[in-house]
Amino acid sequence: MQKNDRTHFLMRAGRLRRDANNLKFDTYDEEFNVISTKPLPIKAIDEIYILAKVDLDSYTMAFIADHNIVLHFFSAYQSFRGNFFPNTSNSVNKSGFVLLQQLRAFDDEVHRLYLAKQFTKGQILNGANNCKKYNVEFETESYMQSLEKTKSINEIMAVEGAFNKNYYQAWNKIIKNQRSFKFVKRTKRPPTDKLNSLISYVNTRIYNIVLSEIYKTELDPRIGFLHEPNYRSLSLHLDIAEIFKPIIGDNIIFTLLNKNEITAKDFKTDSGRIKFTNEGVKKIELKIIKKMTEQIIIGEQKLTWRQVIRREVNRIKRNIVETSEYEPFIT
């Protein structure tokens, strides 16, 4: 499936291969015989999401790397497994100076806490604005006061946890179908109900979109400020996604559910785990792609949401390099 946004999705078993100076995808049947072949124009691709069992060889991977294409891998249960991002001479050059400044900002307790608080501030205010949009009362003053008083990353995480607990409960006043999509408790790895499955899937997509935009800048995605970088290879995208999950991801979920574009029929259980049907995935992806290509006006500029995210990354870079003030993007 491919609909604008230069993003392709491989949702059936097959083989992705290089053919001359292009890519082709061979679809397999249940006995792994090729039943169809589809060309994928190499110059029209930025990212490929692999949500099925797909064969790849090193020759194809090198070709993909040469064209700066990002691969995102998912398990059979639609949980995220990892990324492949090329590190070639054609990639965006990373500045040694910017990397040093990013490391110094991380090691500077005051600077690190400042950025971590700003990311959390963006999450809280954008989440509260979602509630306001749906005429649901949601108080933020206590969270903002608590956030201002925090003196460690753990304390910031505690404020974020308290906010999320009440914010997700407010979803029950936003989502109309309480029979199938009532929020009870946030669960992950694996999600235990349909709503949690939808949240996890959409959040993962936001993380990967943010990661792709970070790679187009001089910042290093390995060095985050709110999320600890010591137990995961990449963390900066998790920080920045906190700002955009409420704006993009949560609003997509509300629209999908309240317009009955996603219903209980779009889910299935496989080995006791909840996953989407292929048709359900297509519905979600088309909605995400439509959102990401939508333009908004900031100042005198018309920007897509991808451009807004990249703009945010560069604003964070300026704070790190120039120690300028940074305020998170708020809708």
Cα–Cα distance measured from residue 227 to residue 301, given in angstroms and rounded to the nearest whole number? 31
Distance CA 53, CA 75 (A): 8
Maximum Cα–Cα distance for the chain, whole Å?
A: 62
Domains defined along the chain, listed by start = 7-84 (3.100.10.20), 96-322 (1.20.120.920)
Average pLDDT over residues 231-255: 92
CB contact at 8 A, 78 and 298: no
Residue 182 pLDDT level (bands cut at 50, 70, 90): very high
Question: pLDDT tens digits for 112-156?
Answer: 999 999 999 999 999 999 999 999 999 999 999 999 999 999 999
Going by C-beta distance under 8 Å and a sequence separation of 6 or more, which residues neighbour residue 270? Answer: 76, 77
User: pLDDT digit string (tens) for 45-84?
Assistant: 888 888 888 999 998 989 988 888 888 888 766 777 777 8
Beta bridge partners of 38: 25
- Percent of the chain past pLDDT 90, that is, above it, reads 61
Answer yes or no: is pLDDT of 20 > 80.
yes
**Per mean pLDDT, which range of 57-66, 163-172, 191-200, 228-237 is the poorest?**
228-237
- Secondary structure letter of residue 2 according to DSSP: B
